[in-house]
Structures are given as structure tokens and as C-alpha cells.
Amino acid sequence: MSLAVQRTDFDRYMVPVFNPLEMILVRGEGSRLWDQQGRDYIDFGAGVAVTSLGHSHPALIKALHAQAARLWHVSNYFTNEPALSLARKLCDATFAEQVFYCNSGAEANEAALKLARKRGVDKHPEKVEIVAFNGSFHGRTFFTVSVGGQPKYSSGMGPTPPGIVHVDFNDIEAVKRVIGPKTCAVIVETVIGEGGILPATPEFLQTLRDRTKAHDAVLIFDEIQSGNGRTGALYDYMNTAVVPDILTTAKGLGGGFPIGAMLTTAEVGNHFKPGSHGSTFGGNPLACAVAEAAFDIINDPVFLAGVRAKAERAAAALRAIGERHGCFTEIRHAGLWFGCELASSLANRAGEMVAKGAGNGVLMLLAGPNVLRVATSLIITDAELDEGLRRLEKTCVEMVG
């Protein structure tokens, strides 16, 4: 029998791009996880807003098992039933008329940005400029880190692709200045996620819509984290008055099974032709079957109303904790997606708080050094929520000392 692997094996065998916490999680059910030693944790991170239906959801297990016994992979020389069935549902439920599948958020944005460039160049060779926002996050491929508004992710790796302009998020005057005839696309998160749960203002989104329309550029909404029920709507654009030309989705789409998708209109999508872009695994039958099962649960008005109700309950509780202990100055949220701004006495200690929380049996996220991020599953029970909040509060008490 081989010895169980341990955290030290990470340092020994893994490329050091991550610095994981000490414990190794081995099992999950609902919003609870267990480590190798049998200690339990309340999941307030959902694998970074991915496991939206919790762990071991029976409908997802059933879909995965059924598809696993039928067909795993056929390549894109063929299409397949789960891919078509999910695409039809995504188009029926949204503005979109066409879907491109891939395996992650970054790949969905890569497809969106390439498509927008292709459409721009089809119209004029100089129509290549992409407008993006400081503080935004769009993934880790070289194109997407370059478009993302956090230079730390693209620096130290040589020249970045040209034709990308960054301005401040929610700065209406700046976007009026930079969007012009050379703009092929504007890419924006409707709520900045990694950068701190910062919502776009309605006027800002409307300005982006008006200016891109006036200059025949595409408006891309990166809904990789905000989509699939997270904000209490199927996609967050449905909470706004603005409809994008391209929407990218991933994280919660497969409930934990890797899948990404780019949704768009036929006018935009038809600028790609066979061979313009591709993916070996995109549209994989296992991924699409699981995502369809997740979609069927989430795309339901009763379910989404439940998300909004749980969100209000959690927001009130987090505000009360902030007030009792002076640990938070503000609780921002969009559905079950919270950014708790740390008090100045706790400046730059979000990472420490996440680690302490894990020690207390609650798994949380950060969004920058001063924001504690909480993203529960969308089906967290009141009992799980209360237990997680109790452990979070204990952590706050320890932090403020």
C-alpha cells in the first residue's frame, strides 16, 4: 500500500504557482468538506464560485454517470448530443444565437477577443483596439492577462500583445474618450470579482453599450464568475438594462466539471469560419451533460428567487458581524457573492484571515489584500450558513484581537 500524499508533496512535485493551505480535502457533500484527518469545513468559497450546487449533488452525479457509460469524447470532427442540447438551452434562455465551447474561463475570453479582433479586421485593417478596465481579471493566457487590468499578472514575461487600452472602471468620461472607430471590442465584468466585488454602475454599462454601438465595436461581458445564478439571475446582464454582443461563462457552468463557453449573436459569430478557432476538448460530452444538468436546476425562477433570499439573509448577518467586531467597513454583494471590506486596523490581512478561517473550519476567499470574499453554494442550507457564519465570526474575533 502506498503512503498517503501530504502537503509537503506539493512543494516537492508541483510547479510553485500556488501556495495551498496545509490541509488536503478529500470529500464534500452539500456545503461541507472533509480533510484527510476527518476535520470538517463549511464551504464559503465554492472552489472560487464554481461548485454552485454544492458538492456531490445527486443530479450532477447522475448526469455524469449516465454520460460516462455512453460516450466520453468524439473530437470536433463530429458534434454530439449533450453539446447541442446544452447550446440550444443556452440560446433559448439568453440573447445568444450561437455557442462556442471550451474548457475554462480564460479560453472563453480568448475566443471572444479573437472573434472581436477578427470581426474588426474584417471591417478595417486598423480596427483592432480592445478597451479594458483597470482592476479587472479575464484569465491567465497571455492574451487574457494582457487584457486584464492587473499588470502583476502579465509583467516579467516579455512584450505583451499590442492594441489594448486600459482605463478606470466606472469612469464614463474615460470610456467616451477612448472608444472610437479603431475600437473592435470593449470587455468588462458587470461586477469586478477578483478585484473586490465592485459592481458597474448602470450609467457606465449604458455608456459602453451606446459607444460600442456608435462605433460598430462589440461589447463583451465577462460573466465567468457572475454567471449561472451567482447574482440571483441566470446571467448578471439580466439584472441590468444592457445586453452584450458576446458573453463568456465558465466557473459555475459545469458545477465543478471543467467547461467554458462563449455565447454570441449570429452577426458576430459568423465572422469565424471553419478553421478560424478551435479546441480539442471543447464541447466534450461529459462536460456538456453535467453542465446541462446544472443549467436545468439553475434556470428556474423559483431557484433564482431562493438565491436572492439566501443572499439577503447572509448579507444581513455579515453586516451584523462587521458591526459587532469592527472588522468590516462595508459589505458589498451581488447575490451570493460578497466582498467584505476590511477595516483599516486589518489592512492587508485578508490572506491571513482566510488561513485563520480554515483553521476554524470555514473556507473563504480573498479579493485583493483588503477584501474577504465569500461565495457560498447557491443551495446552502440555513444550518450550513449559520454554522459557517459562526466560524467566520470566531475568526473575526481572533483577528481584531
Ligand X SMILES: *Cc1c(COP(=O)(O)O)cnc(C)c1O
Binding residues for ligand X, per CB under 6 A?
104-106, 109, 137-139, 189, 193-194, 222, 224-225, 250-251
The least CB distance from residue 54 to ligand X, in Å, is 19
Closest to ligand X by CB, 227 vs 285, is 227
Q: Which residue has the cell 462563449?
A: 262
Query: Measured at CB, which residue is nearest to ligand X?
Result: 105
The least CB distance from residue 181 to ligand X, in Å, is 28
3-state secondary structure of 4: coil
Instruction: Name the region of 198 (left: φ>0; alpha: ψ -120 to 50; beta: rest).
Output: beta
Q: Which helix (H) or strand (E) holds 176?
A: helix 172-178
Closest to ligand X by CB, 317 vs 366, is 366
Q: Which of 304, 338, 303 is nearest to 199 (CA)?
A: 338
The least CB distance from residue 28 to ligand X, in Å, is 19
The span from the CA of 205 to the CA of 229, in Å, is 20
Query: CB–CB of 43/377 below 8 Å?
Result: yes
Closest to ligand X by CB, 193 vs 368, is 193
Closest to ligand X by CB, 227 vs 361, is 227
The least CB distance from residue 147 to ligand X, in Å, is 10
The span from the CA of 20 to the CA of 23, in Å, is 8
Closest to ligand X by CB, 318 vs 365, is 365
How does DSSP assign 275-343, residue by residue? Answer: TSS--SSTT-HHHHHHHHHHHHHHS-HHHHHHHHHHHHHHHHHHHHHHHHHS-EEEEEESSS-EEEEEP
The least CB distance from residue 373 to ligand X, in Å, is 11
Closest to ligand X by CB, 251 vs 391, is 251
The least CB distance from residue 226 to ligand X, in Å, is 7
The least CB distance from residue 224 to ligand X, in Å, is 4
Give the number of other CB atoms < 10 A from CB of residue 177. 11
Closest to ligand X by CB, 105 vs 120, is 105
Instruction: Name the region of 258 (left: φ>0; alpha: ψ -120 to 50; beta: rest).
Output: beta
